[in-house]
Chain A
Amino acid sequence: MTDEKRDKFGERKVRLTSTGSKLIGYAFLVIAVILILEAIINILSAYGILPVGHIFIYLSGPSYIVEAIKGFFIITVLTTIAFGVIAIISTVGLLQEQEWAAGISLILMGLIAFSMICHLLINPGILGSLSLALEIAAFGISLCCSAYLAKNFKRYD
Chain B
Amino acid sequence: MKKQRIFLFITIAFLCVLLLAPSNKAAYSWDILAYDDGAPDLSITPAQTDSVAVKFSPPTHIFKISGMLIYLDPSNLADVRVAVLDSSKHVLMPFCNFSISGLPPYHIDFGALGPIMTPDNVSDFYIMVQWITAGAPTVYIDTSTNAGQSFRIISGTWQPYSDGNIMIRAQVEDIKAPEFDHVPMKFALAGESISISMEVLDEFGVNSVTLYYRKTSSNGTFSPISLTFSGGTQQAGIWYGTIPGENVTLQGIQYYLWATDIGGNSRYYGNATNPYNVTVNEAIPEIPMYVSILAIGISSCIALILLFILPKYKGEDTK
Beta-carbon contact of A124 and B188 below 8 Å: no
B185 touches A60 (CB 8 A): yes
Q: What is the chain B residue whose CB lies nearest that of A15? A: B318
Q: Are A147 and B189 in contact (CB under 8 A)?
A: no
> Does B286 contact A125, Cβ atoms closer than 8 Å?
yes
CA distance A130 to B186 in the complex (A): 21
Q: Residues of B contacting A65 with CB < 8 Å?
A: 197
Chain B nearest Cβ from A3, distance in angstroms = 10
- Of the candidates B283, B296, B314, the one having the most CB atoms from chain A within 10 angstroms of its own CB is B296
A143: Cβ under 8 A from any B Cβ? yes
Contacts A56-B186, A63-B181, A63-B183 given: A143-B299 contact, CB under 8 Å? yes
Asked if A37 CB lies within 8 Å of chain B CBs, one says no
When the two chains form their complex, are residues A130 and B284 in contact, meaning their CB atoms are under 8 A apart?
Answer: yes
Which partner residue on chain A sits nearest B238 by CB separation? Answer: A62
Residues A51 and B284 in contact, CB atoms below 8 Å apart: yes
Q: How far is the CA of A144 from the CA of B307 in the complex (A)?
A: 8
- The tally of residues in A whose CB lies under 8 Å from a CB in B reads 43
Which of A13, A60, A143, A154 interacts with B313 by CB under 8 Å?
A154
Q: Is A72 an interface residue (CB 8 A)?
A: no
Once the chains bind, are B292 and A120 in contact (CB under 8 Å)? yes
Are A48 and B281 in contact, CB atoms less than 8 angstroms apart? yes
| B300 and A148 contacting across the interface, CB-CB below 8 Å | no
Interface string of A117-149 (1 = CB under 8 A from B): 000100011001110110010011101101110
B182 adjacent to A61 (CB under 8 Å): yes
Are the CB atoms of B317 and A18 closer together than 8 Å?
A: yes
User: Which B residues lie at the A interface, using CB under 8 A?
Assistant: 181-189, 194-199, 238, 279, 281-284, 286-287, 289, 292-293, 295-296, 298-300, 302-304, 306-307, 310-314, 316-319
Within 8 A of B (CB), among A17-53: 18, 48, 51-52
For the complex with contacts A60-B197, A151-B311, 8 further pairs of A-B residues with Cβ separation under 8 Å are A48-B187, A133-B287, A141-B299, A143-B302, A148-B306, A148-B310, A151-B310, A154-B313
Q: Once bound together, how far apart are the Cα atoms of A10 and B189, in whole Å?
A: 68
Taking CB as reference atom, which chain A residue is nearest B295?
Answer: A136
Whether A75 sits at the interface, judged by CB under 8 Å, is no
For residue A13, which residues in chain B have a CB less than 8 angstroms away from its CB? 318
* A62 and B198 within 8 A (CB): yes
Expressed in whole angstroms, the Cα–Cα distance for A133 and B188 within the complex equals: 22
Most chain B beta-carbon neighbours within 10 Å: one of A13, A51, A124, A139: A51
A111 at the interface (CB under 8 A from B): no
Q: Decide: B283 and A51 in contact? CB cutoff 8 A.
A: yes
Inter-chain contact A16/B318, CB cutoff 8 Å: yes
A86 interface residue, CB < 8 Å from B?
Answer: no
CB within 8 Å for A124 and B292 given contacts A60-B184, A129-B287: yes
Q: Which residues of A contact B198 (CB under 8 A)?
A: 61-62
**Closest 7 CB pairs between A and B?**
A140-B299, A48-B187, A51-B281, A129-B287, A60-B185, A147-B306, A62-B199
A150 touches B307 (CB 8 A): yes
B299 and A59 within 8 A (CB): no
The reply on A79 being an interface residue by CB < 8 A is: no
* Bound complex: CA A151 to CA B199 (Å): 58
B319's partner among A16, A48, A56, A146 (CB-CB below 8 A) is A16
Nearest residue, chain B, Cβ from A154: B313
With A56-B187, A143-B300, A151-B312 known as contacts, the answer to whether A14 contacts B284 (CB < 8 A) is no
Q: Complex formed: what's the CA distance from A147 to B311 in Å?
A: 11
Q: Is the CB of A54 within 8 A of B189?
A: yes
A50 CB to closest chain B CB (Å) equals 8
Chain B contacts for A107, CB-based, 8 A: none
Min Cβ gap B200→A in Å is: 9
**B contact residues around A129 at 8 Å (CB):** 284, 286-287, 292
18 intermolecular pairs with C-beta atoms under 8 Å apart: A15-B317, A15-B318, A51-B189, A51-B281, A56-B188, A57-B185, A60-B184, A60-B186, A61-B182, A61-B183, A61-B196, A62-B238, A129-B284, A133-B287, A136-B296, A152-B313, A154-B313, A155-B316
Residue of A nearest to B278 (CB): A60
Find B197's partner among A51, A62, A141 (CB 8 Å cutoff). A62
Residue ID in chain A nearest B305 by CB atoms: A147
Task: Report chain B residues within 8 Å CB of A132.
Answer: 287, 292
Does A106 make an interface contact (CB < 8 A)?
no
